[in-house]
Amino acid sequence: MTDAAFPLLRADVSTLPRYVPGRPAPDDLVDKLSSNENPYPPLPSVIRAVEAELGRLNRYPDPAATVLRDELAAVLGVPAGHLVLGTGSVGITQHLVAAAAGPGDEVLFGWRSFEAYPLLTWAAGATPVEIPLRGEAYDLDAIAAAVTDRTRAVFICNPNNPTGTAVRRAALERFLDRVPRRVLVVVDEAYREFVDDAEVPDGIDLYRDRPNVAVLRTFSKAYGLATLRVGFAVAHPRVAAALRACAVPFGVSGPAQAAAVASLRAGAELAERVADLVAERARVTAGLRTAGYEVPESQANFVWLRLGSRTAGFTEACEAAGLMVRPFGDEGVRITIGAPDANDRLLKTASHRQR
């Protein structure tokens, strides 16, 4: 067929890089430690809340997610008008980038970091600028130095996916004081609930008197609702309004809203699970270090091994042990903290390879 038989599309879209998800787990694979999911199934109260929604699938959901928004506002201690719910925090990220940047504009972030940042920046027609990590962590001085007149947004992934490292309060405040207020700074806290270092700031404290700071959170990781696609931004009214203007109407489904509300109400129970995973993170980190691996201090629900050319071999050994981990080219492997027995097998496999 000739080109005339096809619709005209944006020329740059056909060359966009694609998001490469973790491979689906094969049937005989025992544990998936490749997508930073919560290993625990939903709480019974959450399942009941979703079931109660199933008889209403013919109806559109509440477009403003009012009940969820109001309960979340109370839990976080922010005005409801500063909250924007979306289809996962990736959905919100897309709307934030679209609201802030277009052709000719730059979006900055550390690298390696979350793959969605460059993809969604390209998709908006803007230009991603990747600032290399330093010592596996965001190099805030280098990012501040890279801000230009064309910079519209900066992503700070805290803690960073895939390295697990977090920037601390003093460094982040110094950075925010240095960056011009016309630049939107998005603090992506997808793993905030797993942070146990008191020096790692809560983005919600930082955004309060800085109108250019927006915070991203999600129900996918600590709350264990990855499949339902619900996340949110906390932002000042002008940014929040722009986000709503760019959002897909009815983005957050009824079951997702109900599950998120039920999860907030089960906060204490879920916090126990998070505490268990944080304890397992310490155990896995210590075990890997004892086996001779260099493991950056993680504040998330995963650990990072910069294995270089050993990445593929390590990944295959894990698969042979029924464990799926997440390789990144020949850079390294990200390993999600799973249930204790999966972590045991991971430690066994990893220490075997060092012998």
Ligand X SMILES: *Cc1c(COP(=O)(O)O)cnc(C)c1O
Give the Å distances, CA to CA, from 148 to 128, 129, 143, 144, 145: 13, 11, 10, 9, 8
Q: Which of 89, 121, 253, 301 binds ligand X (CB under 6 A)?
A: 89
Please select the residue that binds ligand X; options are 121, 158, 161, 311, rule is CB under 6 A: 161
| Nearer residue to ligand X within complex by CB, 90 or 325 | 90
Nearest CB to ligand X, comparing residues 203 and 231: 231
Cα(232)–Cα(96) distance, integer angstroms: 11
Q: Which stretch binds ligand X (CB under 6 A): 168-176, 217-225, 260-268, 280-288?
A: 217-225
Question: Total number of residues binding ligand X (CB under 6 A)?
Answer: 14
As given in the structure block, the two tokens for residue 17 are: 């890089």
Of 126 and 256, which CB lies nearer to ligand X in the complex structure? 256
Nearer to ligand X, 189 or 287 (CB): 189
> Residue 84 in contact with residue 243, Cβ under 8 Å?
yes
When CB distances to ligand X are compared, the closest residue is 88
User: Cβ(234)–Cβ(217) under 8 Å?
Assistant: yes
Q: Judged by CB under 6 A, does residue 158 bind ligand X?
A: no
Segment contacting ligand X (CB under 6 A): 10-18, 38-46, 82-90, 321-329? 82-90
Contact call for residue 188 and ligand X (CB under 6 A): yes
DSSP code of residue 61 = P
**Which region, judged by CB under 6 A, interacts with ligand X, from 84-92, 127-135, 169-177, 262-270?**
84-92
Cross-strand partners of 173: none
Q: Is 121 in the site for ligand X (CB under 6 A)?
A: no
Binding piece for ligand X, criterion CB under 6 A, among 215-223, 253-261, 312-320, 331-339: 215-223
Q: Cα–Cα distance between 260 and 303 in angstroms, integer? A: 27
Q: Are 311 and 9 in contact (CB under 8 A)?
A: no
Q: Are 80 and 104 a contacting pair, CB within 8 Å?
A: no
| Residue 12: alpha-carbon gap to chain centroid | 26
Which range of residues in 85-93, 130-138, 236-244, 304-312 is near ligand X by CB under 6 A?
A: 85-93
Supply the minimum distance, in Å, between the C-beta of residue 320 and ligand X.
Answer: 27
Q: Pick from 39, 61, 88, 254: which binds ligand X (CB under 6 A)?
A: 88
β-pairing, 31-32 vs 323-324, is parallel
CA-to-CA separations, 51 to 58, 256, 258, in angstroms, rounded = 14, 11, 9
Contact window for ligand X (CB under 6 A) among 61-69, 179-187, 197-205, 220-228: 220-228
User: Which residue in 109, 111, 114, 194 binds ligand X (CB under 6 A)?
Assistant: 114
Distance, in Å, from the CA atom of 214 to the CA atom of 233, rounded to the nearest integer, reads 7
Q: Which is nearer to ligand X, 152 or 326 (CB)?
A: 326
State in angstroms the smallest separation of the CB of 232 from ligand X: 9
Residue 110 and residue 160 in contact, taking contact as beta carbons nearer than 8 Å: yes
3-class secondary-structure state, position 127 = strand
Nearer to ligand X, 117 or 175 (CB): 117
Q: What are phi and psi of 177, to 5 degrees?
A: -70, -25
Question: Which positions touch ligand X (CB under 6 A)?
Answer: 36, 88-90, 114, 157, 161, 188, 190, 218, 220-221, 226, 231
